[in-house]
Amino acid sequence: MNQTLRSSDLNAAADNEAAPSPLFQTRVDERGTGRASEGDDVVAEEIPVAMVYNGISHAVMMATPVDLEDFALGFSLSETIVRSLDEVYELELDYGPDGVTAEMTIATERLFALKEQRRNMAGRTGCGLCGTESLAHAIRKIPKVGAHPAISDQAIQAALTELKQHQPLQAQTGATHAAAWCGVDGSIIAVREDVGRHNALDKLIGHRRRTGNTFESGFALISSRASFEMVQKSATVGIGCLVAVSAPTGLAIREARKADMSLIGFARPGRHVIYHQGQTTHIVEAVQENKT
């Protein structure tokens, strides 16, 4: 009988001395009009992370080397490789000189589906959306998210005000995106950072599901634009409201409409733009959770 993944299994890698730092320190020569100086600078790191399922290498992503357990699980969920974490039996991070390998053991049924997807990818080169048989299949069918709690303007503004306090990598490097899960009152419950906006969202998804939490009450706030992939990943795991500090794309708006997801863009202090209002219920009280 297969044993389901435990959080202790995931946290074990955090103590691995081979784990790379998410920060890189370097000497710089700073120039400006009439001045020049030398000093130290700290920048965000990025490394290759290979997603391997039952010995099959599926994808290699460039990511910030922090919260990689959350990244692997969130990627697996948002890309529909698994439908729930009950289908992930083991996860081990292997740190090597060339990057990190996330070795996962998944349910046999999901492995068969992954192998079928890889067969469709065979022989294709130079593609942006690999593994598709036609243009009609380039964008997978997006699920309906269902009715979700209405999010007030005040809650969105409160989350925006608080977000910077939860972005330590961004504060040090100015190079990372953040994805935050916020309560219906705008309180920030969890944040994950990465140089890649998709990665940050996957890390947040992985963290929420790994800790046994759902996306039924609250909203996601991302420090980037809202592309169709961000909408698709969100809808896939049941996020009913996505708020982005920058613009959405036209395809993202159309996908949000299909999913009946609330999509909000240009979320800045004092204003935000509602591009689609999904089906909502009344505003409910915030769920009390540990902030991480």
Binding-site residue positions:
266-271
Q: Which secondary-structure segment (H or E) carries 242?
A: strand 241-244
Backbone angles phi and psi of 195, in degrees to 5: -65, -25
Query: Distance between CA 213 and CA 235 in Å, rounded?
Result: 16
Category of 9 on φ-ψ map: left (φ > 0), alpha (ψ -120 to 50) or beta: alpha
Active site residue 241: no
Whose CA is closest to 121, among 111, 131, 112? 131
Q: Which amino acid is at 157?
A: Q
β-bridge mates for residue 29, sequence order: 38
The β-bridge relationship of strands 219-222 and 177-182 is antiparallel
Closest by CA position to 263, among listed 292, 236, 240: 240
Percent helix, strand, coil in the chain (nearest 5)? 30, 30, 35
Cβ neighbours of 185 (radius 10 Å): 17
Q: Please report, as a single letter, which amino acid is at residue 56.
A: I
From first CA to last CA, the distance across the chain in angstroms is 33
Any idea which residues carry the catalytic annotation?
127
